[in-house]
Amino acid sequence: MQFIYHHRTMGRSSQAMHIRSLVEALKADGHEVTIVSPPGVDPLKSAGMMPFLRKADRASGLQRIWKYISCECPQFVFEAFELLYNLFLPFRLLPTLWRQPDAVLYERHAYFMFMGVLLGKWLKRSVVLEVNELAGFTRARGLILERLARWIDAWLFSRADHILCVSRVLADEARQRGAESERIHILPNAIDPNRFRRAGREQALRSRLGVQDCIVIGHVGLFYRWDRLDALIEVVKSFRDRHPKIKVLLVGDGPEMENLSQTAFRLGMEREVIFSGPVPRDDVPAYIGAMDICVFPDSNAFGSPIALFEFMAMGKPCVVPDLGPMRDVLENGVTGIMFPHGNHHALGVALLRLVEDPALREQVGARAKQIVFERHTWAANARFVAQLSLGESSVKTLPQMKQVDCDTL
């Protein structure tokens, strides 16, 4: 099959990792994929790079323009640029659609973007719309023209042939906004098993970090306020005296970095909290491997965090808030430990349970690894997309699909 993968991201961080991983999986399955990106953006090259979080972050070429719009424009101007992108898009997308008359248009949904679906339906193409967020849920930089964004979403949902939502929460919301149930499918994020079958660097990394004999509680990602990593530091502080060999390892960077550093200093935890800073994408599995317990103190209520699947792929027990996207993937007490959302006392209880029970850590981590290799690989996501695009009426739901042979675990 032929696919045209259209997106309007800056081609960095987890967004680009999602794009690159699915595209590579489709190609590996024998399909032809053409990526249509904003000018100067190549997610195949920049996947895993840190997004532009601060004005001081370096950018080159056309990326300087996208960085300026993202970091320095007032919110209303930023949303105006998002809308204006629709006027530019025909010049970017139409030539590719004309050159590939049999291609399926696979579009990553973006706020206020409607022209891609409009062009696809005008040319009578099959359109697959991937939904990672929707107006009405919190996004990092806010939203002023929410009513317009919702109206555009409803219009898109009435036209797309298939709507792939990364969580059940988003699927339910799409249904409430008028999408027909038979068009909606839940397709969470996934992993590439090959990235997580190499081992051997974890002990060397633990030694370099000075945590050889410690129990390491860790998190990987972009540090936003909604992650509540400050609460994690406070919770660990509350039982640090009982377990003096506990360390907290935070891998990444983000808007909350300064606040987290100040929180650790204020609580006298500066020696117990290790900030690795941004690390190369290929090194992430080793850093996860250096952890004993992985944790999401909080998360947004709609997204499918790639880090969760990576934690599971490394056989780590995960402590997560009881939110819809987590329930889509984890079974409480079996493949992860859930606590009531926003209840930091319960977060502490869940962490202590794993800290004090090494056998439970091993059991939950092993089961999580088995499940993620069985059910959540990019190769199976690609097969799912191809089956839908072919119009197979017998396409299975994702939990039913056997994704990889587990004898290689």
Q: For the residues of 129-148, what is the DSSP string, one character each?
A: EEES--BTB--TT--S-HHH
CB under 8 Å to 248, separation ≥6 — which residues? 216, 217, 218, 232, 233, 236, 269, 272, 273, 274
In the structure, what pLDDT confidence band is assigned to residue 392 with cuts at 50, 70 and 90?
low
The continuous run of DSSP H or E covering 176 comes out as helix 168-176
Element (H, E) at 284: helix 284-289
Q: What is the pLDDT of residues 19-38, one digit of tens each?
A: 999 999 999 999 999 999 99
Which has more pLDDT, 110 or 195? Answer: 110
Distance, C-alpha 238 to centroid of its chain: 30
Residue 159, number of CB atoms within 10 A of its CB: 14
- Residue 56 has a pLDDT of 66
pLDDT of residue 54: 64
- pLDDT mean over 277-301: 93
- Sheet arrangement for strand 246-253: 273-277, 246-253, 215-222, 293-295, 318-321, 337-339
Kindly report, residue by residue over 334-355, the tens digit of the pLDDT. Answer: 999 999 999 999 999 999 999 9
Per-residue pLDDT, averaged over 270-287, amounts to 93
Which residues make Cβ contacts (< 8 Å) with residue 318, sequence separation at least 6?
293, 294, 295, 296, 308, 311, 312, 330, 335, 336, 337, 364, 368
Q: What is the pLDDT of residues 176-186, one digit of tens each?
A: 999 999 999 99
pLDDT in tens, 40-80: 999 998 877 766 666 667 777 777 787 778 778 899 999 99
Q: Do the Cβ atoms of 141 and 226 come closer than 8 Å?
A: no
Backbone φ, ψ for residue 223 (5° rounding): -90, 95
Contact 318, 330 (CB under 8 A): yes
* pLDDT score at 32: 98
**pLDDT value, residue 201:** 81
Structure tokens belonging to residue 364: 């939950």
Confidence of residue 198 (pLDDT cuts 50, 70, 90): low
- Give dist(CA 3, CA 177) in Å, integer: 27
Identify the band that residue 148 occupies on the pLDDT scale cut at 50, 70 and 90.
very high
- Apex 226 CA angle, 220 and 229, nearest 5: 50
pLDDT digits (tens, 9 = 90+) for 227-254: 999 999 999 999 999 999 999 999 999 8
Does 271 score more than 90 pLDDT?
Answer: yes
Average pLDDT, the chain: 91
Q: Are 380 and 270 in contact (CB under 8 A)?
A: no
